[in-house]
Amino acid sequence: MRCDLDGRVAFVTGAAGAIGSAIAKKLADSNGAVVIADINLDGAEALAATLPNALAVRVDIRDAGAVEAAVAATLERFGRLDILVNNAGVNTFAHRVTIDQFPAEEWERITSIDLDGLYLMSRAALQPMLAGGGGRIVNIASVVGMAAMRLQSAFVAAKAGIIHLTRAMALELGPRGIAVNAIAPGSIMTEGTRKLFYGADGTFAGRTAEFMQHIPLGRPGTPEEVAEAVLFLSSPAAAYISGQLLPVDGGWTAGFSV
């Protein structure tokens, strides 16, 4: 799709990562000004240098002070903030274990970024959005927040939390001109999923065909396919859509395929 964001300012977290950078590029290609926010400043700066109207900021979304400073830097550069894409998130690679074995530090690391960080980021970004009379928030959840899976309990819980928080935010903020929606990516081809599933030496290598039986389209998605949905929900075309969860998952959550 093509649309014109007309210079609206979009703040994208985790924007140096695979999905985040695809989102940032897509919004920039649609005439948005983009804040490339990431804990990896080098990666953020490298991406920002390739885009026409972008600002790189380092932010650890677990840190309320850093989050507020990043929003302040956004306002200093662009004077407004219209769209927040809460994309930053982590899962566990080293600890694919059931909850009775799940390390407390790993639980804390995952939920503090995926859920608490999303709250801190939203709270800070909402101040200029509300002052400006409206805006959009797009939260990147996951299909595991809809249909539970084994061996990643912290991620499952955090992503389910994001989905329901999206609904509560939509109800609270709708009357004040802000639409809030979520996207649930399925299995997306990134460095992380290569380590788990798609690489020859991945943790679950050899079981990819079994996994793909559950995905009607029979393949992992691409970061660009997720970005397409983010652009739609950020655009004027989606003005009456709020509180919704849009899976971009190859049909995984349509039902049980097997």
Partner 1 sequence: MAMRDIEIDLAGTRFDFLGSSRLLGDAIADALRQNGGVAATADEASLIVALHPLGPQAEAADLLPDLQRHGERFAAGLGGRLVLVLSAAASVPMRRHPAHSANAAMAWAGMRTLAMALAPKVLVNAVGAGFVEEAGQVLAGDPVMPGHAGLQRPGRVADLVNAVLFLADPANTYTTGQLLNVDGGWTVGYGRNF
Which residues of this protein are in contact with partner 1, per CB under 8 A? 1-4, 167-168, 170-175, 179-180, 186, 216-219, 221-222, 225-226, 228-229, 232, 235-244, 246-251, 253-255, 257
Q: Which is nearer to partner 1, 44 or 215 (CB)?
A: 215
Q: How far is the CB of 56 from partner 1 (least distance, A)?
A: 28
CB of 6 to partner 1, least distance (A): 9
Integer Cα distance of 31 and 25 in angstroms: 10
Residue 9 beta carbon to partner 1: minimum distance, rounded to whole angstroms: 19
Angle subtended at Cα 73 by Cα 69 and Cα 75, rounded to the nearest 5 degrees: 115
- Residue 95 Cβ vs partner 1, minimum distance, rounded to whole Å: 29
**Min dist. Cβ of residue 235 to partner 1 (A):** 6
Nearer to partner 1, 23 or 229 (CB): 229
Residue 217 three-state SS: coil
Q: Identify which of residues 68 and 224 has a Cβ nearer to partner 1 in the complex.
A: 224
Q: How far apart are CA 257 and CA 205, in angstroms?
A: 21
CB 51 within 8 A of CB 28: yes
Token pair 């997306």 is found at 188
Give the C-alpha distances (Å, rounded to integers) separating 225 from 24, 32, 232. Answer: 13, 18, 11
State which amino acid sits at residue 236: P
Between 38 and 249, name the residue whose CB sits nearer to partner 1: 249
In the complex with partner 1, which residue's Cβ is closer, 72 or 254? 254
Do the beta carbons of residue 34 and residue 50 sit within 8 Å? Answer: no
